[in-house]
Amino acid sequence: MITDEYARTFASVNDRIGQLRESGFYTFEQPFTAAPGGRSEIDSREVIMLTSGNYLGLVGHPEINKAVKEALDTYGSGACGARLNNGTTRLHLELEERLAEWMGTEAALTYSSGYLANLGTISALCDADTVVITDQFNHMSILDGCRLAEGSVKIFAHNSMEKLEYVLQRNADAAKKFVVVDGVYSMDGEIAPLDEIHRLTERYGALLMVDEAHGTGFLGANGRGAGEHFGLVPDITMGTFSKTLGGVGGFVTASHDIVEFLRHSAHAYMFNASLPAPTVAGVLKALELMRREPWRTEKLWENTMRFRSGLIRLGFEVMGSVTPVIPILIGDDETALRMSKELMADGLYVSGAIYPAVPKGKARFRATVTAAMTSEDVDSAVALLGDAARRHNVLA
């Protein structure tokens, strides 16, 4: 039964969404009809794709498609069970071995999504004796994992090492201390100062977990992420398959003891359906291609620098991003939505981020550059963004 209280709860969100839909500026959940390459299609109309985690352009690679199809013929579309029961295949075990070898750790564990990897790992490791310490701008999956944890949660100001050390000092006597941060912040494109964070966790005896969802594949000499960028290996590294590896799912790498504990304690692993074998086969092939075709990483950085410098020349504020995740500050929510709608009509898809996803007055486009884009795609995207910004007086 929908009571008045439920109705008020629903209305607090749905009324605003309804207004956006009626105004014609609701640009979310567009019906794509092609893969997210450098260009894609919305309702069969071509657009330059500027909102996708397909960083290395591996989605749709013929070798990946072939591996997926072969696994589909062998294993079927799904295991219909959890990993601890009937959900483990030879491919799952091979993938976990390959992930541990790639990330330079003793062991690895795969989850059905990156969101679940954070949720399951944090909630399993942080019991009532744990002080959980997290950056205020961490991804929602980290924050939700902290909410599920039984420990005491402390939040420090974004990238403030002074605040982090203050929290660690205040909780120096805690039995267990657990620090979790993003390696690359998904809304701002910043790299966390992991060298300083690692130094502090070592000094105060805290476990360090780093979410490398937006760093694996192109940061560091072997693409291990922000940790490798700073020359260190966190106690726990989390990553996803849904970005550079062109699939879906998530993983953590750590010591054998931590992974074995998670395998038999993390509810998001134990009680969740296994990744389908065809998905696992595709990720295995993507790992191989990532190493065999280093030109993809080179092209990604070339496109990133070209796009970023083009925006800066036009006068856009890119908020200090140094990665392929490039925020473009617009300011006003309605302006960002209007521009997004107009850009879609002009042949460019870039998603707007508005309050409450970002602070009030900080609406932005969250652009993600990929290796699948040509130089012409990048230049066209910059030009179209500039034209839209001038129409709405966004540029100084």
Q: What is the CA radius of gyration of the chain?
A: 21
- Phi and psi for 152 in degrees, rounded to 5? -85, 130
243 is annotated as an active-site residue: yes
- Six-digit token string for 344: 């879609």
351 is annotated as an active-site residue: no
Residues 151, 176: Cα–Cα separation, whole Å: 9
Cβ-contact 325, 219 below 8 angstroms = no
Catalytic residue among 186, 274, 321, 351: 186
CB atoms within 10 A of CB 233: 17
Catalytic residue among 154, 214, 285, 299: 214
Q: Which residues, in sequence order, are CB contacts of 198 under 8 Å at separation 6+? A: 208, 230, 232, 234
Which residues lie across from 42 on neighbouring strands?
A: 32, 45
Closest among 302, 293, 289 to 247, alpha carbons compared: 289
Residues 277, 94: Cα–Cα separation, whole Å: 11
Closest among 103, 85, 114, 79 to 241, alpha carbons compared: 114
Catalytic residue among 177, 198, 243, 285: 243
Residues 105, 357: Cα–Cα separation, whole Å: 34
For 239, the 3-state DSSP assignment is strand
139 is annotated as an active-site residue: no
Cβ-contact 253, 209 below 8 angstroms = no
CB atoms within 10 A of CB 18: 12
Catalytic positions are 186, 214, 243
